[in-house]
Homo-oligomer: A and B are copies of this chain.
Amino acid sequence: MSKQAEKTPEWISTPPKPGTYRSILKWGAPDGFKHPSAGFLKVIQQTLGLSDADLKRGPDTGDQPVKHDIPCRLSSDDMAALAAIVGEQNIATDDYSRVLHSSGKAMEDLIQLRTGRAEHVADCVVHPRDKKDVAAIVAYCHQKKVPARVYGGGSSVTLGLDGVGGGVTLVMGTHMNRVIEFNEANQTITVEAGIMGPAYEELLNNAPDRFGASHRYTGGHFPQSFEYSSVGGWVVTLGSGQLSSYYGDAYDLVVSQEYVTPVGSFKTLDYPGTATGPKVNDIMKGSEGCFGVLVGLTMKVFRYMPENTRRFSYMFPDWESAVKAARNISQGEFGMPSVLRISDVEETDVAMNMYGIAGTPADTFLRLRGMKPGRRCLMLGQADGEKGFAANVKKKVGRVCRACGGIYLTTYPASKWFASRFKDPYMREDLNDIGILIDTLETSVTWDNLHHVHQGVRKYIKDRVRAVCMTHSSHFYAQGTNLYFIFIMPMAGAEEFRTFQRGIIDAIVEHGGSLSHHHGVGRMMGPKMERHLGAEQMEVLRALKRHFDPHNIMNPGGTLGLDG
CB-CB under 8 A for A448 and B186, given A269-B514, A385-B333, A547-B539: yes
Closest to A446 in B: B186
Q: Mark A253-293, 1 if CB is under 8 A from B, else 0.
A: 00100000101111011111111111110111111100000
Specify the chain B residue showing the minimal Cβ separation from A547.
Answer: B543
Beta-carbon contact of A517 and B275 below 8 Å: yes
Cβ-based interface call for A479 (8 A): yes
Q: How many residues on the A side are at the interface (Cβ–Cβ under 8 A)?
A: 92
Chain B CB count within 10 A is highest, among A238, A284, A302, A532, for A238
Are A333 and B529 also in contact (CB < 8 A) when A271-B446, A388-B395 are? Answer: no
Query: By the criterion CB–CB under 8 Å, are A278 and B544 in contact?
Result: yes
A392 to B481, CA, bound (A): 27
B480 lies within 8 A of A276 (CB) = no
Q: In the complex, what residues of B have CB within 8 A of residue A239's CB? A: 275
- Interface membership of A200, Cβ < 8 A: no
> A500 an interface residue at 8 Å Cβ cutoff?
no
Bound together, the chains give a CA A529 to CA B519 distance in angstroms of 35
CB distance from A54 to the nearest CB of B (A): 36
Given A187-B331, A278-B544, A386-B332 in contact, is the A273-B517 Cβ separation under 8 Å?
yes
A389 & B255 in contact (Cβ 8 Å cutoff): no
Identify the closest chain B residue to A447 (Cβ): B185
Residue of B nearest to A450 (CB): B185
Indicate whether A553 reaches chain B with its CB closer than 8 angstroms: no
In angstroms, Cα B255 to Cα A286, docked, is 18
Name A273's contact: one of B275, B448, B475, B541 (CB within 8 Å): B475
Taking Cβ atoms with an 8 Å cutoff, the residues of A that contact B are 183, 185-188, 237-240, 249, 251, 255, 261, 263-266, 268-280, 282-288, 300, 302-303, 305, 327, 331-335, 384-386, 388-389, 392, 395-396, 444-448, 475, 477-482, 514-521, 525, 529, 532-537, 539-541, 543-544, 546-548, 560
9 contacts across the A-B interface (CB closer than 8 A)? A237-B275, A249-B273, A269-B532, A275-B286, A276-B515, A276-B521, A278-B285, A333-B384, A334-B386
- 17 other A-B residue contacts (CB within 8 Å) besides A276-B532, A278-B286: A185-B446, A187-B478, A188-B446, A238-B275, A266-B536, A269-B532, A275-B286, A275-B520, A276-B514, A276-B516, A277-B521, A278-B282, A278-B284, A278-B544, A333-B386, A388-B392, A389-B392
